[in-house]
Amino acid sequence: MAKKVEALIKLQVAAGMANPSPPVGPALGQHGVNIMEFCKAFNARTESIEKGAPVPVVISVYGDRSFTFDMKTPPAAYLLKKAAGIKSGSGRPNTEKVGTVTRAQLEEIVETKRPDLTAADMDAAVRTIAGSARAMGLNVED
């Protein structure tokens, strides 16, 4: 019989930098999960990702206090800021532009995020990411 999931924990943890301090420690500790075991497993699985990149992770905690976790791709906002070379988005995105991204950069971001996107094709996915870019105050060039 399959183990029963007791809790789902959603966190955003920096790749290769999981440690028992907040937010990881308290979130896992209240469900009785071995925090160091998670940190070691997470850091091992994120070795191929740029160190420090935020990685959304969904942790399934079972009745016997064991766990499994699924990693998502880094958020579009993080990838867009990296592509545009900016620290943060605009406070007033429609009036104050803070950077520019090209269609080629958007396509590269779509390839990275492909597993998490629900878009039917490449063009729809690019339009989705372009919308996020505009909402951050970035100009989108073709």
Per-residue pLDDT of the chain (142 residues; tens, 9 = 90+): 568 888 888 999 888 888 888 888 888 888 888 888 888 898 888 888 888 889 999 999 888 888 888 999 888 888 888 888 888 777 787 788 888 888 888 888 888 888 887 788 888 888 888 888 888 888 888 7
Q: Does domain 5-71 have CATH number 3.30.1550.10?
A: yes
**From-to residues of CATH 3.30.1550.10 in the chain:** 5-71
pLDDT at 109: 86
Domain 76-141 adopts which CATH fold?
A: Arc Repressor Mutant, subunit A (1.10.10)
The model's pTM is 0.79
pLDDT at 57: 92
Q: What are phi and psi of 51, to 5 degrees?
A: -60, 130
CA 133 to the chain's CA centroid: 16
pLDDT at 56: 92
pLDDT at 1: 54
**From-to residues of CATH 1.10.10.250 in the chain:** 76-141
CA 121 to the chain's CA centroid: 21
